[in-house]
Amino acid sequence: MTVYDFTAKDNRGQEVSLEAYRGQVLLIVNTATKCGLTPQYEALEATYQTYRGRGFAILDFPCNQFMRQAPGTDEDIQTFCTLRYNTTFPRFAKVNVNGKEAHPLFVWLREQAAEDEGDEKAKSFEKKVKLMKPLGKAGDIKWNFGKFLIGRDGQVAGRYSPAFTPDKLAAAIEAALV
């Protein structure tokens, strides 16, 4: 199984096969518009602009599971991201990433890489998150802006902590683009 075996609704409600991204390096991110990490949209867009010409895409999946920090409709989220952060990468409809209602893509992603990579800042953030929400199952996505790097072969190449900022992924993205 690869990422290309999945479909998801885009932010206009149209079913999209991830097969459309075959051969590209992908960064799949669960996002939120009212989170302390929301300014990462700026770094995500910069990363997208840096690498998109080399076969790289960011797939944005808003998620309202973490303290309801992605309120509003898919259209509201699109408007916010476009006007506030000038994002141009593909955005999908809101999904759940953990639990019984989790989108099958995120179930698969979590199975492929159960632990986040990150730095000291990311580890410190994760300790704070544990205080704010009950512990989930092992492998659950911890918060908004969890990131999965997908290689050109459609397999998970890395999983990164929500607090691990997109600019720190440059080496991993470069390696995957080769």
> Which structure tokens are listed for 54?
């080399």
81 tagged catalytic: no
Burial class (CB in 10 A: 0-12, 13-18, 19+), 72: middle
Radius of gyration of the chain (CA): 15
Residue among 25, 27, 35, 122 flagged as catalytic = 35
**CA nearest to 15, candidates 118, 82, 76, 104:** 104
Pairing of strands 156-160, 25-31: unpaired
Active site (catalytic) residues: 35
